[in-house]
């Protein structure tokens, strides 16, 4: 199931990032008085009235400036509008209507996306419509007045957002299907890998329209196993790519990760791990998906008997938050080791869905505590009273303790290492939930 996407757009310095932070409940976007600070899109899950959605913050659309960075910001924002389910168009109520506002409104109208006009920086809510009359010229209906900095009237805005969100739909797949998303930067070989996975030895069952806009999921079968390739970048319809430099839309990445079971994070072995690679891999990690790190273009790397080990160590360092993910070195163009990819997919999918019996868990934690007791805080010591597994995909463990504040992150990491040492969980993140409990059970 895919979360709807809501994009925040507008010209520079109208308060988009402030509104983003207000809605998601934290200072996620950088907020500065200088325009142009938000240059990359930012994404965060938000929830209101029981509905979840992904909120997208975009860079300011400036039609007066020229240059590569400004053009890139404009292109990213236009893509965000085209890929979103709803748009928040933010204008500055103090400054009034600006020619750039009219340009942004034109882009939104052409996109056909449902839009909400947000008049930000309103200081006096005892005003009449004449105070925002000029904004009606944008042709996007009644402006909703807010003060994002003060959090005023944002509840009414969220009510309106929820009204515009589309209903989510469940995919109609076989019950044992493994859904695979291939994600990565442009030109790392995503298309080549998908084409190799959908080779002649596979039986393609059907093409199923997905919830990713203009994408088609491919259901295929290998022996008695069913898989779905979630098409994140229109990779089977190259003629439909309108902007060659943007073969990969990050919103589509988010949608695909949200819907998949296993993520194949594609990396270019000849270039190493970039900051964008880290951001993309981070989507899969934060979403709790099973993952495989696929180092492609291995045929382009000069090798000796230590090359693979050195590259593995480097990847582990750069993507330290995904040390649980197996690394495989392939060449999608030559087909080398591609057959091993699906074997790893099967393996990490199984690990992702593994359940551990409660008695076994509690025995493991008892031994871990005996081996390395929890640290004390002054005179108080953390006590682990009971452990149970609360879910799978990803595996989630609920730890009942005497005081959750006594749990240090380093000790929690120690406990995770003990769980992985005993039960594997290779290829999947693990979640721990701490709950307070006064009565000792174990």
Confirm whether 5-164 and 358-436 share one CATH topology: no
What whole-number distance in Å separates Cα of residue 208 and Cα of residue 206? Answer: 6
**Pairing verdict, β 115-120 and 86-92:** parallel
Cβ(148)–Cβ(22) below 8 Å: yes
Neighbours of 315 (CB within 10 A): 24
Q: How far apart are CA 183 and CA 189, in angstroms?
A: 10
Q: Would you list the domain boundaries of the chain?
A: 5-164, 178-352, 358-436
Other CB atoms within a 10 A radius of the CB of residue 49 amount to 11
Cβ 285 vs Cβ 321: under 8 Å: yes
pLDDT at 192: 86
Q: Cα(247)–Cα(55) distance, rounded to whole angstroms? A: 22
CATH 3.40.50.300 fits 178-352, yes or no: yes
pLDDT at 237: 37
Taking Cα atoms as reference points, which of 272, 182, 184 lies closest to residue 230? Answer: 182
Residue 43's alpha-carbon distances to 100, 345, 416, 421, in angstroms, are: 24, 27, 28, 34
Two tokens at 325? 């993910």
The arrangement of secondary structure in 358-436, i.e. its CATH architecture, is 2-Layer Sandwich (3.30)
The pLDDT assigned to 126 comes to: 64
Strands of the sheet containing 327-329, edge to edge, are 203-209, 216-222, 225-230, 178-183, 262-268, 290-296, 327-329
- Position 83 scores a pLDDT of 77
Residue matched to tokens 């907020």: 31
Return the pLDDT at 314. 94
pLDDT recorded at residue 324: 96
What residues contact 359, with CB distance under 8 A and at least 6 apart? Answer: none
Separation CA 13–CA 25 (nearest Å):
20
5-164 placed in CATH 3.40.50.300: yes
- Sequential pLDDT tens for the chain (442 residues): 567 889 898 888 898 889 998 998 854 444 444 443 333 446 778 888 888 888 888 776 766 666 666 666 667 667 778 778 899 999 999 888 988 889 889 889 988 899 999 999 987 776 555 567 788 889 998 899 999 999 889 999 999 999 998 876 666 677 889 999 999 887 888 888 888 888 855 656 656 554 434 456 788 888 889 999 886 654 433 333 343 333 335 677 777 888 899 999 999 999 989 888 888 888 889 889 999 999 999 999 888 888 899 999 999 999 999 999 999 999 998 989 999 999 999 999 999 999 999 999 999 999 999 999 998 877 888 999 999 999 999 999 999 999 999 999 999 999 999 999 999 999 999 999 999 986 655 4
Q: Look at the block and give the residue holding tokens 């595996």.
A: 395
């Amino acid at each position: 199931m895919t979360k709807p996407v809501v994009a925040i757009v507008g010209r520079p310095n109208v308060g988009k990032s402030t509104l983003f932070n207000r809605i998601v409940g934290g200072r996620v976007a950088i907020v500065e008085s200088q325009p142009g600070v938000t240059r990359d899109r930012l994404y965060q899950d938000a929830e209101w009235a029981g509905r979840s959605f992904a909120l997208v913050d975009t860079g300011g659309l400036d039609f007066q400036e020229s240059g590569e960075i400004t053009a890139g910001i404009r292109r990213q924002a236009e893509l965000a509008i085209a890929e979103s389910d709803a748009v928040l168009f933010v204008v500055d109520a103090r400054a009034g209507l600006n020619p750039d506002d009219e340009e942004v409104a034109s882009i939104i109208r052409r996109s056909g996306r449902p839009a909400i006009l947000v008049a930000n920086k309103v200081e006096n809510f005892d005003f009449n419509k004449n105070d925002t009359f000029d904004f009606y010229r944008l042709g996007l209906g009644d402006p909703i007045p807010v003060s994002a900095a003060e959090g005023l009237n944002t509840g009414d805005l969220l009510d309106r957002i929820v009204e515009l969100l589309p209903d989510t739909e469940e995919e109609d797949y076989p019950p044992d299907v493994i859904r695979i998303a291939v994600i990565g930067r442009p030109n790392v070989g995503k298309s080549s890998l998908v084409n190799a996975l959908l080779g002649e030895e596979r039986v393609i069952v059907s093409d199923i329209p997905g919830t990713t806009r203009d994408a088609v999921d491919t259901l295929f079968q290998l022996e008695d196993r069913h898989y779905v390739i979630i098409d994140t970048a229109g990779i089977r319809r190259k003629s439909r790519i309108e902007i060659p430099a943007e073969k990969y839309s990050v919103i589509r990445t988010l949608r695909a990760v949200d819907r998949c079971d296993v993520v194949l994070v594609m990396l270019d072995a000849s270039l190493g791990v970039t900051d964008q690679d880290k951001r993309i891999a981070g989507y899969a990690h934060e979403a709790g998906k099973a993952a495989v790190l696929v180092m492609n273009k291995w045929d382009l790397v000069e090798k000796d008997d230590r090359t693979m080990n050195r590259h593995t160590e480097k990847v582990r360092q750069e993507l330290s938050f995904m040390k649980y993910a197996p690394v495989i070195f392939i060449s999608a163009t030559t087909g080398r080791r591609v057959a091993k990819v699906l074997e790893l997919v099967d393996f990490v999918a199984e690990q992702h869905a593994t359940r551990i019996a409660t008695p076994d868990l509690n025995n493991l934690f008892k031994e871990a505590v005996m081996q390395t007791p929890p640290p004390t805080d002054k005179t108080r010591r953390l006590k682990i009273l009971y452990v149970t597994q609360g879910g799978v995909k990803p595996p989630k463990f609920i730890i009942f303790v005497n005081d959750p504040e006594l749990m240090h992150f380093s000790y929690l990491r120690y406990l995770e290492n003990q769980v992985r040492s005993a039960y594997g969980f290779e290829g999947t993140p693990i979640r721990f939930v701490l709950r307070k409990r006064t009565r000792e059970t174990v």
